[in-house]
Amino acid sequence: MMAYWIAVLSVFALSCQVGCDDNAYDNHTLIRLFPHDTKQLEAIIHFKEPTGQIEVLKTSRGLNDSLDVLVPQSQLDLVQDFAKENKLTLEVKQNNYGRSFAFPERQPRRRVLHGFNIYGYNSFGAIREYIEMTARRHPDLVTLQDVGQSYQGRRMKLVKISSNPSAGNPIIFIDAGIHAREWVAPAMALYLIHRLTNDPEARTKDLNGVDWYILPVVNPDGYEYTRTGRSNRLWRKTRSKNSNCYGVDGNRNYGFKWAVSGVSSNPCDKETYAGPKPFSEPETQMVRNIMMQNAKRLKLYVSIHSYGQYLVYPWGYTGDFLPKEWKKLDSLARSVSDAVQRAGGLPFKVLSAGKWYPAAGGSDDFAFGAVGVPYSYTMELTDGYEFIFPEHLLKKVLPQFYEGFTVLGSQIRDEFGVN
| 212 to 48, 135, 218, 412: CA distances (angstroms) | 39, 14, 16, 11
Q: Is 391 a catalytic residue?
A: no
Long-range contact pairs involving 94-100 (C-beta distance under 8 Å, separation at least 24): 94/29, 94/30, 95/29, 96/26, 96/27, 96/28, 96/29, 97/25, 97/26, 97/28, 97/29, 97/30, 97/70, 98/24, 98/25, 98/26, 98/27, 98/28, 98/230, 98/231, 98/233, 99/26, 100/388
Residue 307, preceding bond cis, omega within 30 degrees? yes
60 by DSSP, 3-state: which?
Answer: coil
Helix axes 394-416, 326-342, angle to 10 degrees: 140
Q: What beta strand segments (E) does 366-409 contain?
A: 375-380
- Which amino acid belongs to residue 63? L
Is residue 380 within 8 Å of 303, Cβ to Cβ? no
Is residue 268 within 8 Å of 17, Cβ to Cβ? yes
Alpha helix ranges (H) inside 169-266: 184-198, 200-205, 220-226
Is residue 374 within 8 Å of 329, Cβ to Cβ? no
Catalytic residue among 55, 129, 182, 380: 380
Centre a 10 Å sphere on the Cβ of residue 232 and count the other Cβ atoms it contains.
18
Alpha helix ranges (H) inside 325-383: 326-342, 353-356, 363-365
Centre a 10 Å sphere on the Cβ of residue 105 and count the other Cβ atoms it contains.
5
Catalytic (active-site) positions = 380
